Amino acid sequence: MLTVDQVREAYRRIARRYDRAVALFPVFGVRMARYRRDAVAALGLPPGAMVVELGCGTGLNFPLLLEAVGPRGRVIGVDLSDAMLAQARAGVERRGWRNVELVCADIADYRFPPGVDAILSTFAITLAPTYEEAVRRGALALRPGGRLAILDLRRPSWPDPLVHFAAWLNRPFGVTLDLEERHPWESVRRHLHEVRYREYYFGAIYLCVGERSR
């Protein structure tokens, strides 16, 4: 299992080619764009909302989030990797987005602003050893009725050789077999009221959405 420093270094190495690598996933039948759309839609973001994305990477979800919150809304992208945030910042500046804030921080140290409308994490939070604490603090930061959505990987009930091969393919993204011991969806169920759980890609990907009690 990679340490925080090792994860940071891994994403520094792939930052410049990350978007191109992710664009290849549909070749293997992974409908990444659809999964991301489902995750953002599940947040139920109203115009003007404030949303925090944990592990925002290069900002692939920003267009979806900004479409939902509109020009009066606010998107805060938090990521461990300075190199990934550099790619995100270039995209933000190129598109002229004025309501996106980028924060370089370990999610273990990030302090949520009060009254957050929604929190999103896609293919990131499982890499953090402190994901339980991040979910707990995120749940406390949400306004009543606010939602937290996690879209991520889990070990599917595939034959072991196929699981090992998939883990090897995803090794550049910090994925290792021992991550199967981490279950962020259970953290969501402990700290929030679960409103949705769905699996994709034959059980290898899941979307879990929790809501803070009103």
Query: What per-residue confidence (pLDDT) applies to 3?
Result: 86
Q: 155: how many CB neighbours lie within 10 A of its CB?
A: 15
- The reported pTM is 0.96
Query: What per-residue confidence (pLDDT) applies to 2?
Result: 80
Angle between helix 184-191 and 131-141 (nearest 10): 30
Query: What per-residue confidence (pLDDT) applies to 57?
Result: 97
Residue 138: domain span: 4-211
Please give the share of the chain, as a percent, with pLDDT higher than 70.
100
CATH at 106: 3.40.50.150
Q: What is the pLDDT of residues 94-105, one digit of tens each?
A: 999 999 999 999
Angle between helix 82-95 and 4-14 (nearest 10): 50
User: How many folded domains does the chain comprise?
Assistant: 1
Query: What per-residue confidence (pLDDT) applies to 148?
Result: 98
Positions in the chain whose pLDDT score sits under 70: none
